[in-house]
A = this chain, B = another copy of it.
Amino acid sequence: MSITIYDQLVPVFSHMLSSLDKVLTKAEADAAARKIDLDVFVNGRLAPDMLPLTRQIQIMTDQAKGGASRLAGQDPPKWPDEEANFADLHARIAKTIAHLKTFKPNQFEGAETRSIELKFPNATFNFTGKDYLLKFVMPNFYFHYTTAYAILRHNGVQIGKGDFLGNR
């Protein structure tokens, strides 16, 4: 009646990141077919005060990187947020999947009760490992994945739920 933290995070996020990678490849083909400059997608937003595609993917990958690292008791590596085109975004996704691959199930021993502190410029959050995973990392990961997907859909890219879930 329980599932390891490794299983909840490492294989699932790797799978979703691979699905995002394929979604981006479809978006590139779509832009080529419709003769749309890829920068339009890179800078696409759902509202003027929402973040563009690049930032959605940077934050999504940060959730995977930070979630796995912190729950395994490590400081997350710092990655500059310099992605500016689709090649950069593919590389960011590949780097994140490679980071996830470095973890072994036993590194998450006791992670559900580990104290996790997140410092932001205007706030500090303190979580147990369990709440950090379930109420922060997981919803944030899918929030930014869905928003990235929705930016492309909003811009007319022909993708569907099967692409999002990676089951086609």
Number of chain copies forming the complex: 2
- A122-159 vs B, CB cutoff 8 Å, 1 = contact: the mask equals 00010000100111101110110111011001101000
A143–B161 CB distance below 8 A: yes
Interface size class of A (residues with CB under 8 A): 35 or more
A3–B2 CB distance below 8 A: yes
CA distance A164 to B135 in the complex (A): 11
Question: Is there a chain B Cβ closer than 8 Å to A74's Cβ?
Answer: no
Question: Is there a chain B Cβ closer than 8 Å to A43's Cβ?
Answer: no
Q: State the A residues within 8 Å of B (CB).
A: 1-8, 12, 15-16, 46-47, 50, 105-106, 108-112, 125, 130, 133-136, 138-140, 142-143, 145-147, 149-150, 153-154, 156, 161, 164-165, 167
